[in-house]
Amino acid sequence: MALVELFGNEVVGKSGNVQTSSLESKDVVGIYFSAHWCPPCRNFTPVLAANYTSLTEQGKAFEIVFVSSDREEGEAQSYYDSMPWLMLPFGERDRKNDLSKKYSVSGIPTLVLVDAKTGETITKEGRGILSNADCGQSFPWKN
């Protein structure tokens, strides 16, 4: 239920919408605040995608939801096309703003890691964790 409160009933998947409640089968969900117009974001996204793919191929119960800070839906969709995970529907701007406030996002890229079962914040420093190829060794990143 906690993730539905964060993202609404559905998020965008590569082959159609996905019920947010299905994410509760994961251990960790990353909330990725990013935008195509942001050079640091465009540099970090391929690194994050490679590590995400590695983690999921290792069977780690991990998912990411992209929360776009792009100005237009077409830009957001084009950027999302390069990502292997899920996306908050672009039209959910109020929800995007609420998430930004909830996690005190002051700059992008920001990756917040939350416990998929409870919705509790694991860390707001997910970018630092997922920048390293060996990030899976400490999964699910809870102390």
Residue pLDDT tens, the chain, 143 long = 689 999 999 999 999 999 999 999 999 999 999 999 999 999 999 999 999 999 999 999 999 999 999 999 999 999 999 999 999 999 999 999 999 999 999 999 999 999 999 999 999 999 999 998 888 889 999 86
Q: Provide the token pair at 6.
A: 């964060």
- C-alpha dihedral (54, 9, 111, 134), degrees to nearest 10: -20
CATH 2.40.170.20 fits 2-7+24-132, yes or no: no
> What's the predicted TM-score (pTM) here?
0.96
26's CB contacts (< 8 A; 6+ apart) are 61, 62, 63, 116
